Structure 1
Amino acid sequence: MRTSCKSKNNLTKIDEMVGLDSVFQVLEYDELRGGKSIDTAFSLSIMKDAHIRLRQVRIFIKDAAVRLESGALQFMKGDITIDSKLGGILGMGKKILSKTLTNETAFKPLYYGTGEIFLEPSFGHYSLIELEDEDIIVDDGLFYACEEGVQVGVAAQKTLSSAFFGKEGLFQTKLSGSGIAVLELPVPESEVIKVKLINETLKIDGNFAILRSGRIEFSVEKSAKTLIGSGTSGEGFLNVFRGTGEVWIIPTSHIYDEIKNMNMRELTNPSGGMNTQQGNES
């Protein structure tokens, strides 16, 4: 169930998902009004025009537990206890190994009890998803929070091509089990294309698939049958997803990178070319 409502304190609830003993919400600040200088006011004005909004995840729990990304907590209210036990030497070893393999933080503390939890606000984009006794594989850094029934682990690439040519590394983050999870996306969820496959094949020219169902097989293949054909087609290698399930792709992500790089070039060289006047005068 997803709802949206506006409160009197400059916050709008833009997404909500209700579990058995928990409620996950994504809140959005309508605008930031605390600027105390002209420079800050100018930046805030640009951000408002560009629809850049500050967002925050809020979680309600009732005799339940949630797991958070390390450092994600901002504040909490109620009878809530933090369990950051390492699980002994073996448990600590598994967590450190997971961090080494996936670049995820090693320790994800468990918060249990009854109350309200606010996570750190950011200008990022959040997605609420619900797992039902299933696995999904996501890009490193996407995991943000989840119910206790969702386990955060590691998935190894199953083919040599995906391990060495897929640019995803040898291992990725795997979420498995049942429950609600929060992902921090690089683009708004409205710009995510969720491709459903039924014994089908999806081929992508680029590294912008961020999530796939655990049953989807991932490999990297030549775009044509021969190396010469792949070279002349201009595509080279393609990321290939086969099976039944869902793949999330973010085709707009590289556009933001291009805009950012273009702005950096303009800042460092506003004239669009090298300043040769001094050299000509000399």
Structure 2
Amino acid sequence: MNNHEIDYKLHGDDMQFVEVELDPRETVIAEAGSLMMMEDGIAMETIFGDGSQGSAGSGLMGKLMGAGKRMLTGESLFMTTFTNTGSGKKHVYFASPYPGKIIAMDLSEMGGKIICQKDAFLAAAKGVSVGIDFQRKLGTGFFGGEGFIMQKLEGDGLAFLHAGGTIHKKQLQPGEVLRVDTGCLVAMTQDIDYNIEMVKGVKTALFGGEGLFFATLRGPGTVWVQSLPFSRLASRVFAAAPQTPGGGSKGEGSLAGGLFDIIGGK
């Protein structure tokens, strides 16, 4: 691998953003829409896939295959590169799409590969390959929702992941088993034995308030877990929002709701 060696700094606590420092000709790749701001002298370009194959030896079919793999994970066909075209150090900033934490991972310290949730990737040094990691048991994985298709990041450079709530890093010993809600799993090292299992007991599955499936992780290896997946937060907000016949919502007892009642003659 030939990843660009970028420097970085994390800012904030619960709504973090990452500042990436680029030397001349250094490049960072990022998900479309993750840019917060950038200094003058940085060239921005939209590409198919992650650009890890380089311009030489990568034909149209190879680029389409890379973009197609990203479609399977629910991500955009395109990624964005940011290259320092100036003569001095320049900075570009990326922000998380929802409240949570940003994790910086040096892939060279993790055997050159990390497996993460399909929407966890934020940015990485150019040269890091962003692909898909299929579950072995496709049937169970398919019904497990988030657990079916995971992203894999390969290379020897820096990668930045984001997740919701608080991030907990747990080291599993050989043979140690951890069962995690599929939405709470953020990332894991490649040596973790990973599977999707159905919750045992019909009553537990239907009335326990949890999902029907969970991820079973067996050590040795390292696991990163998030306390508040965005899907869980969004479902709670949607469920708590008052619905009106017109499809909108208004808060009961609020000033806006009272004004609407007065204007409407109620």
**TM-score normalised by L of structure 2:** 0.68
- 1:1-282 matches, within 5 Å, as 21-28=5-12, 55-63=16-24, 64-86=26-48, 87-113=58-84, 114-119=89-94, 124-125=99-100, 126-132=102-108, 133-168=111-146, 170-187=148-165, 191-199=166-174, 200-205=176-181, 207-223=183-199, 230-231=201-202, 237-253=213-229, 256=233, 260-261=237-238, 263-265=240-242, 270=252
How far apart, in 2, do the equivalents of 1:255 and 1:105 lie?
22
How far apart, in 1, do the equivalents of 2:99 and 2:151 lie?
19
How far apart, in 1, do the equivalents of 2:185 and 2:95 lie?
26
CA contact 2:4–2:125 (8 Å) conserved in 1: no
1:60 CA drift (Å): 0.7
- The C-alpha deviation readout for 1:110-153, integer Å capped at 9, x for no partner, is 32334111335765332222222432221122111111242211
- The C-alpha deviation readout for 1:192-251, integer Å capped at 9, x for no partner, is 222211222212355321212222222223555xxxxx3355576542112321222234
Aligned residues: 222
Q: Secondary structure at the match of 2:79?
A: coil
- Structure 1 residues 256, 106: closer, same or farther in 2, change over 3 A? closer
**Which structure has the higher relative contact order (CA within 8 Å, separation 6+)?**
2
How far apart, in 2, do the equivalents of 1:204 and 1:168 lie?
12
How far apart, in 2, do the equivalents of 1:238 and 1:118 lie?
35
CA contact 1:197–1:246 (8 Å) conserved in 2: yes
How far apart, in 1, do the equivalents of 2:60 and 2:4 lie?
33
- Structure 1 residues 83, 246: closer, same or farther in 2, change over 3 A? same
Greater strand share, structure number: 1
What CA RMSD, in Å, does the superposition of the two structures yield over aligned residues?
Answer: 3.4
Structure 1: segments with no counterpart, 5+ residues: 1-18, 29-50, 225-229, 272-282
Greater radius of gyration (CA)? 1
Q: What is the identity, as a one-letter code, of the residue corresponding to 1:178? A: D
CA contact 2:32–2:78 (8 Å) conserved in 1: yes
- Structure 1 residues 252, 27: closer, same or farther in 2, change over 3 A? closer
